[in-house]
Structure 1
Amino acid sequence: MPDHWPEVNPEKPTAIDIFAGCGGLSFGLKKAGFQNLLAVEWDVSCCETFKENISPRVLQCAIQEVDTFPSCDILVGGPPCQGFSNLGERVPNDPRRQLWLHFLRAVRDANPLIFIMENVPPLLKSAEYQEIYKQARKLDYDVEDRILNAADYGTPQRRKRAFVIGSRIGKPAFPKPTHRNPDESPTFENKDLSVWKTVRDAIGDLSPIPDEKNWHIGRNPTEKSLRRYSYIPLGGNRWDLPIELMPECWKRKTKGGTDLFGRLWWDKPSVTIRTEFYKPEKGRYLHPVENRPITHREAARLQGFDDDFKFIGKRIEVGIQIGNSVPPPLAYQIGLAVIKEIRKSKRKKVTSEQMKRESVYV
């Protein structure tokens, strides 16, 4: 690794993040008490954002170019999910489906106490996941998987992702929810939890008019687009458009998702924020009351990013950074759960070594 990188603190647990993106997962882990030992990401703008907010210890390259990985306490990463995603046709021979092999190579090299793989839920039903599980077990990891909803962990967004946790120090630790769905009757276990955060909670204080500051920027819609936006009520979608304003392809396609050209609700979490959230034709991305799509800053807040998190890149690049991120509030809760287990394991190891030394003199 480069000599000019800053030294790591030997007292803090270390993390390696591969397929790091702009660092949403690492940002949450950092808040939970981890320090970044190494991040690997091929995209230049993502690397610059990661360096600005988390650590300069970043390799800008393809994962295949990394010869070996140093030892660490936790290794995390989300191999590109397009090969597994339900969005569009899944291609069995998509080379991106093979990048998990490099994730496991990193696990073998670094031998972390814990690894975490994040991906879309269809991963868990794939043949690749069966192989991931089998290979991780051969490396002496206990492996468990769960689908977590970011809304349950303080993110103002309904975003479900699969998390696979492997542990060499006991049963894999998943975080307990910090928030609950207000539309469901509370249970004994969750009755004291706060209800889900909403779009209003996240963006209600922002200027209704984009001002170009801190990525509060929007598109320049055509007059026809503005007319279309004006017909969509709160919670509405493309079917609220008058026939003369409906694109021909939508007229022919009478079935399909109800989120296309949809308007967000104020008092619910947002739908999943994806990379083209600034295009309402891609999903439910119209502002609750303004006749425009949400801005980059609004999307970042709906992902749980603090306003002082600095994105670096062009508009499209930053949109991709925001949409592909693990929401930091969810990453933080995961980090708290696993760092507790790592510290417990290290305390046990120190105690055991002390007892061995003392027994020599008995």
Structure 2
Amino acid sequence: MTRSISTVDLFCGAGGLTHGFEEAGLPVKAGYDIDPACKFPYEHNNNAKFILQDVENVRGLDLFKHFYGSHIKVLAGCAPCQPFSSYSRRYQDRQSKWKLLQDFARLIAECQPDIISMENVLQLKHHSVFDEFTTYLKKFNYCFESYEVNCLDYGVPQSRKRLVLLASKFGAIHLIPRTHSPEQYKTVRQTIEHLEPLSAGQVSQIDWLHRCSKLSELNMRRIRASKPGGTWRDWSQDLIAKCHIKTSGKTYPGVYGRMEWDKPSPTITTQCFGFGNGRFGHPEQDRAISLREAALLQTFPPEYEFVDSDKPVAIDIVGRLIGNAVPVKLGQVVARSILNHIEQNH
């Protein structure tokens, strides 16, 4: 069945969604992104071609080249929405805050894929641009359903909630039922405890991606004073940052925090490699989580590579690629939902 399907992944990033699709058996022909740093991880780890191009300049005819010869056309993507999320610096200069989602809708109109998948921030559903997007779907006779997905329900070991929309010209399309109940939620311990210990700033000799940021003397004192699940309010007064003493800073207790072994991690962001950027401290080692640990919490397989081994690793760039990604397991869930739908309706 899958031989007759072609998928294109817009805003593909480092390939989290594409990898999930391929692992579930849904073939992907190409991924589009404007960030050149995405090319190596996307093509090295996936059987799809990376195309460095701004989606604003992509036309339906461009996508038809990838769909040629296939009976079923699938268009997937996560259009970054600047008003809600720092999803990606690579799109921040847009004049219209909704332009990327509008470009996604335009491509739907131009190439008329059979099935559409869109993943985005939850808040999008409460804004008029989402209504405009679904109006496009109605205009072109798509059946669609949107879901507020708790990634924990599908085996992702982090607290991450996302909006997932599925649309099809074949009939009603549904997300598969959740695969994990609360007592089955994956934890930090299950995900990263097996990795070798590191000191702050150290790089593993076994896995070059298992590397973590250095800590200043002050931040080393802070992390040593931190306990799993605790906050900076547990510290002595001399360790507390001035910005947190202000009223505006008192609502951010999670920064400079340690993760807890037997709970899921917080949402992995583009700044997850920094101890002061969230609850990104290792549960017991005096350091922030490593890039490999962040990738595993995003459910990338342990062998997934983000930079050519011959090239230097820029920790901020790789952190951005990991934090921006769709969790691989969420990609699997979307792909399985699409394949179930095709089997039932086509």
TM-score, normalised by the number of residues in structure 2 = 0.88
2:242 to 243, 248, 253: 248
Deviates more, 1:93-102 or 1:73-82: 93-102
More displaced stretch, 99-108 vs 158-167: 99-108
Which of 261, 275, 278 is the equivalent residue of 1:280? 275
TM alignment of 1:342-361, pairs within 5 A: 342-346=342-346
- Give me the whole-angstrom Cα distance separating, in 1, the residues matched to 2:2 and 2:185: 38
2:23 alignment partner AA: K
The Cα shift of 1:12 comes to 4.6
Alignment match, 1:187? none
Residue 102 of structure 2 aligns with an amino acid whose one-letter code is L
| Structure 2 residue aligned with 1:175 | 176
Contact 1:151–1:158, Cα closer than 8 Å, also in 2: yes
Aligned to 2:163: 162
The Cα of 1:299 is off from its aligned counterpart by 0.5
Counterpart position of 1:122: 123
Q: Which amino acid aligns with 1:144?
A: E
Q: How does 1:284-295 map to 2 (within 5 A)?
A: 284-295=279-290
Q: Which residue of 2 aligns with 1:66?
A: 58
Aligned-residue offset at 1:164: 1.3
Equivalent residue runs for 1:229-244 within 5 Å = 229-244=223-238
| Consecutive unaligned residues in structure 2, runs of 5 or more | 308-312
Query: Does residue 298 of the first structure (1) align with residue 293 of the second (2)?
Result: yes
Q: 1:207 aligns with which of 196, 209, 222?
A: 196
The corresponding residue for 1:138 is: 139
Structure 1 Cα separation of the partners of residues 97 and 33 of structure 2: 14
Q: CA deviation at 1:86?
A: 9.1
- AA aligned to 2:81 is C
What's the Cα RMSD here? 2.0
Count, aligned residues: 322
Q: C-alpha distance in 2, partners of 1:281/1:203?
A: 20
Q: How far apart, CA to CA, are the structure 2 residues paired with 1:266 and 1:323? A: 20
Per-residue Cα deviation, 1:118-145 (whole angstroms, up to 9, x for no partner): 1110100011001001111101011211
* CA displacement, residues 163-192 of structure 1 (integer Å, 9 cap, x when unaligned): 11111111122021111112xxxxxxxxxx
Unaligned segments of structure 1, at least 5 residues: 1-8, 183-194, 347-362
> Could you tell me whether the CA contact under 8 Å between 1:29 and 1:335 is conserved in 2?
yes
1:255 Cα deviation after fit: 2.5
Conserved 8 A contact 2:29-2:48:
no
Question: What fraction of aligned residue pairs are identical, expressed as a percent?
Answer: 30
Q: Matched residues in 2 for 1:86 and 1:22: separation?
A: 16
Q: Which has the larger radius of gyration?
A: 1
How far apart are the structure 1 equivalents of 2:75 and 2:208? 31
1:197 aligns with 2:186: yes
Checking the alignment, whether the CA contact within 8 Å between 1:278 and 1:295 is kept in structure 2 is: yes
- How far does residue 217 in structure 1 lie from its aligned partner after superposition? 0.6
